[in-house]
Amino acid sequence: MKFDIDRYKEIIDTLSRNRSRTLLTGFGIFWGIFMLLLMLGGGDGLKKILNQNFEGFTSNAVIVGAAPTSKPYGGFKRDRTWYLDTKDIEAIKTLVPETDIVTMMDADWGGTMTYKDNSYNGIVKGLTYEYAGVESPQLLYGRWINEVDCSQERKVCVIGKQVWSNLFPDGEDPTGEYINVKGSYFQVIGVDNRNGGININGQPDQSVVIPYPLMDKMNNRGGRFDIICMTLKEGADSDVSQYKVRGLLSRRHSIAPDDKPAIMMLDTQKIFKIVDNLFKGVNILVILVGLGTLLAGAIGVSNIMMVTVKERTTEIGIRRAIGATPKMILSQIITESIGLTILAGMFGILFAVFILWGAGNIVSSLPDINNPVSFQIGFWTGIAVLMLLVVLGVLAGLAPALRAMNIKPVDAMRDE
């Protein structure tokens, strides 16, 4: 299409003649685009922050815990305390084929750790090497505990980020060093760099992880522990798996089959699904609100173009009289409408990008954020918004353009 400078001069002239109406209408388009992109980019950034809290945690885990019974059963009174044990692990692996990883967790809160003159009061967790399949560590230094560490009951440990920063304030690599954990010395083999977020039985950054068999002997619990952590095989039905595990534990520990409070279960798959559906709903709401605001702005553009056509009735009639075709008149009005929507929309896009950029920098500087967080809109989202502006411009200018096309030269002269 040939560049027609006179046409664009007419657009500027139109906007200048209707300055107050233009500013008001342009602000509607600007605000609609700004709010749409701000909410889309902000929602995407919040989802990334939330995903950082879930990062490394498998989405198909089932966590099982023991609580006092709420019903009498099998000759036992209610409020009876019972414990999970290693035989439960073997029974679940054998009798519930839907499970993939089945491992235990034991934890001591308030454990004191020291290194030279530095100390920290944190959490001591007894885990197996398999637990990395439930909650993946983010190792800053060293490695995770392995199968040999567990089978040989090695006195090794993986320390959390806060433990490391308190015991080793200079930030040096602590692997190979020995720290005192509740009166026993353990060699540091790794540093887990995760912050808080979703966790089981204590924040990972405040924990010292040691092999479970060693912790079991240190605490003299005889194979008892606090929690069972399981992952399910791909395609396994979570509800069916939980039903089987609950029935198995009920039979093994003489618990009423319908005593759900006694066997606590947390299904992470359902939590992830709820969060995902929540953000889908937020995105739909954002789009509806943004489109509603833009539609109001487009109606304003259509109104201002209607006023413009009425003010230029004589001019349009003269053009028709000297040979301007209906297509030329239609093209002129729609081009002016598109120009107004794109001009206001581009200011909205630029302002939204600037605000989102600032929000991303502020959030990324917070101490609890592991990785930089971007609140920016994607490239294709920007392209889609530009296309939407063009479509709105065409729709807003269509009715005024059709009215202009129907103006007859004789009627225009009579109006003059």
Give the whole-angstrom CA distance, residue 87 versus residue 282.
Answer: 45
> Is a pLDDT exceeding 50 seen at residue 103?
yes
| pLDDT above 70 coverage of the chain, percent | 79
pLDDT at position 83 is 92
Burial of 406 from C-beta contacts in 10 A (0-12 / 13-18 / 19+): exposed
The residue with greater pLDDT, 395 or 181, is 181
Round the average pLDDT of the chain to a whole number and report it: 81
> Is a pLDDT exceeding 90 seen at residue 174?
yes
* Distances in whole angstroms, Cα of residue 8 to Cα of each of 132, 302, 331, 335, 342: 64, 18, 12, 9, 13
40-94: pLDDT as tens digits: 777 777 777 776 666 667 778 899 999 999 999 888 898 999 999 999 999 999 9
The residue with greater pLDDT, 292 or 366, is 292
User: Residue 110 — pLDDT band, cuts 50, 70, 90?
Assistant: confident
pLDDT at position 100 is 92
The residue with greater pLDDT, 373 or 384, is 384
Instruction: Specify whether the CB–CB gap between 95 and 110 falls below 8 A.
Output: no
**pTM of the full predicted structure?**
0.68
User: Residue 2 — pLDDT band, cuts 50, 70, 90?
Assistant: very low
pLDDT at position 145 is 95
Range name among 197-211, 238-252, 253-267, 337-351 with the lowest pLDDT average: 337-351
User: Residue 286 — pLDDT band, cuts 50, 70, 90?
Assistant: confident
Range name among 17-21, 130-134, 154-158 with the lowest pLDDT average: 17-21
- Mean pLDDT for the stretch of residues 235-249: 91
Give the whole-angstrom CA distance, residue 231 versus residue 147.
Answer: 18
pLDDT at position 295 is 75
* Distances in whole angstroms, Cα of residue 413 to Cα of each of 79, 171, 316, 406: 97, 86, 10, 14
